[in-house]
């Protein structure tokens, strides 16, 4: 059974938001009743496991909370990411020259967190007020590029699987699903195949992009893949763990006596083993340092920012903290909060996402974004996906090495107050790739103020953003946009 529910008035030229080979459902206007019927049919397909994505007219014609639509086009709908997987996307056209500006695919990490957060709270065209109204982001990345926000993998946000199987691993997400979703996008929007293509990811997205890039490079020559970017990604779990204690000490989180103990029992001849030591004295010191970081109320995503949830346990936060020193499996117990207003499921404890939850789960918003009625409420991070996700790749260096030989440009950047994926680990990772240095470590500027530091290598750049936490476009939006434009235009970050 093929399902396709459309509004015939929304078919516009080359932007045909419908899968090839499908028949149009008879009718003149897509009313709520016909949309409901389409959703019921899709629900039947879901229960039968036939794997055909729910389709509606993807063009967004109104947005609740926004008085007037902007002067750029935007679409929200579904991309086929396998026989039984349907990925929700929101595509915003460039405010400049969409026909020639780059196309950027944006993926969030987690694993299991939604890219809608990035569209509505980081680098997208909108921000949400507490009352549910929208306002425009003056530093939106679609000022200079077409941006495709994809909720991946299935089970994240409004993406779903008709088989309801949400057990997945790194390889499946990296290559098979995201690549098929990208191919599905070009089927809907064929004119964009001629644009330069970039993939930008954040956090655990560091796993998704290198192999996806390799798949694109080895795929159809018609895709002009030019480069990728990893923001605050844990590209090497080993290097991240090795540098976290150094980061903690020099940011005043552990005292000098504990630091001396760590160096005495875990270091020898200038080399430290903070991640894989079997000595009891070293392990005890590392555990003590870990307890100074985890569960005390620090915002691990932005050290100098307040923590919305303060102290206490929350599943998403615990999942993120478990990335640190995972080999030791400390599992430090922290009591659950009992006070009213505790963080909602799937929200990292130090992040306030109430306005986003309320807005994305409104019925009129779901209809405007063409979300089928059979799907459950939207969550920022899916506990279902996270709990079943199988991590396979602890070091992404081999993938980087392969792509750097394919004339692909790469940017690795870190906010320098992020503890979850600290900048020292990112810097050491890029340095270990042994690329020729083109520009030595140097400050870069925004409005004549130091915005961070960078070092350029052949084909790859490492860059820090001063005073920013884990989500750079959220904490330093203007600086992030300059960084973004400089990378796309291949110009210096000065």
**Active-site hit among 115, 382, 470, 486:** 470
CB atoms within 10 A of CB 130: 9
C-alpha 321/C-alpha 311 separation (Å) is 13
Q: Is the peptide bond before 150 cis (omega within 30 degrees of 0)?
A: no
Check: CB of residue 379 under 8 Å from CB of residue 112.
Answer: no
Check: CB of residue 459 under 8 Å from CB of residue 404.
Answer: yes
DSSP letter, residue 385:
H
Q: With DSSP H G I counted as helix, E B as strand and the rest as coil, what are the percentages for the chain, rounded to 5?
A: 35, 20, 50
- 251 has catalytic annotation: no
Residue 423 Cα distances to 244, 427, 487, angstroms:
9, 6, 19
Nearest residue to 466 (alpha-carbon basis) of 446, 452, 480: 452
Check: CB of residue 102 under 8 Å from CB of residue 141.
Answer: no
Q: Which two tokens stand for residue 334?
A: 């922290």
Check: CB of residue 4 under 8 Å from CB of residue 22.
Answer: yes
- 139 has catalytic annotation: no
- 470 has catalytic annotation: yes
Task: Count Cβ neighbours within 10 Å for each residue of 420-437 and write b for 16 or more, e otherwise.
Answer: bbbbbbbbbbbeebebee
C-alpha 347/C-alpha 358 separation (Å) is 13
Which residues have C-beta within 8 Å of that of residue 177, sequence separation ≥ 6?
Answer: 81, 82, 85, 87, 152, 153, 154, 168
**Active-site hit among 203, 211, 248, 266:** 203
Q: Which two tokens stand for residue 68?
A: 């007037």
**Active-site hit among 248, 382, 418, 486:** 418
267 φ, ψ (degrees, to nearest 5):
-120, 150
What is the set of active-site residues? 203, 418, 470
């Amino acid at each position: 059974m093929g399902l396709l529910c459309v509004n015939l008035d929304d078919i516009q030229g080359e932007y045909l938001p419908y899968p090839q080979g499908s028949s149009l459902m008879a009718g003149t206007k897509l009313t709520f009743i016909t949309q409901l019927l389409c959703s019921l049919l899709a629900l039947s397909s879901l229960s039968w496991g036939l794997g055909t994505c729910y389709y509606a007219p993807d063009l967004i014609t109104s947005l609740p909370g926004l008085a007037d639509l902007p002067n750029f086009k935007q679409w929200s709908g579904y991309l086929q990411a396998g026989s039984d997987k349907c990925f929700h996307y929101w595509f915003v056209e460039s405010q400049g020259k969409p026909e020639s500006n780059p196309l950027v695919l944006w993926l969030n990490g987690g694993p299991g967190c939604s890219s809608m957060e990035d569209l509505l709270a980081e680098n997208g065209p909108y921000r949400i007020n507490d009352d549910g109204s929208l306002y425009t982001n003056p530093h939106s990345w679609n000022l200079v590029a077409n941006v495709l926000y994809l909720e991946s993998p299935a089970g994240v946000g409004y993406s779903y699987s008709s088989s309801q199987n949400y057990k997945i691993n790194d390889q499946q997400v990296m290559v098979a699903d995201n690549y098929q979703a990208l191919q599905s996008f070009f089927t809907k929007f064929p004119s964009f195949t001629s644009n330069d293509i970039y993939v930008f990811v954040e956090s655990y997205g560091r796993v998704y992009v290198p192999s996806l890039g390799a798949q694109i490079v080895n795929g159809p020559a018609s895709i002009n893949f030019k480069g990728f970017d990893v923001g605050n990604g844990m590209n090497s779990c080993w290097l991240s763990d090795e540098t976290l204690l150094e980061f903690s000490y020099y940011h005043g989180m552990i005292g000098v006596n504990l630091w001396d103990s760590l160096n005495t029992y875990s270091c020898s001849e200038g080399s430290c083993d903070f991640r894989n030591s079997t000595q009891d004295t070293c392990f005890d010191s590392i555990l003590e340092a870990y307890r100074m970081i985890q569960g005390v109320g620090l915002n691990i995503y932005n050290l100098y920012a307040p923590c919305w949830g303060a102290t206490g346990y929350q599943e998403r936060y615990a999942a993120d903290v478990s990335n640190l020193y995972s080999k030791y499996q400390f599992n430090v117990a922290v009591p659950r909060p009992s006070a009213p207003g505790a963080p909602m499921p799937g929200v990292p404890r130090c992040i306030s996402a109430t306005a986003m939850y309320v807005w994305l789960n409104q019925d009129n918003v779901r209809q405007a974004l063409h979300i089928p009625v059979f799907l459950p409420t939207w969550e920022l991070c899916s506990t279902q996906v996270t709990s079943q996700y199988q991590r396979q790749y602890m070091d992404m260096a081999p993938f980087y090495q392969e792509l750097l030989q394919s004339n692909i440009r790469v940017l690795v950047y870190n906010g320098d107050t992020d503890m979850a994926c600290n900048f020292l680990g990112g810097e050491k990772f890029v340095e270990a790739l042994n690329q020729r240095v083109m520009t030595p470590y140097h400050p870069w500027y925004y409005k004549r103020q130091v915005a961070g530091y960078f070092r350029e290598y052949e084909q790859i750049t490492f860059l820090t953003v001063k005073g920013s936490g884990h989500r750079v476009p959220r904490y330093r939006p203007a600086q992030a946009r300059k960084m973004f434009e400089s990378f796309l235009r291949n110009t210096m970050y000065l």
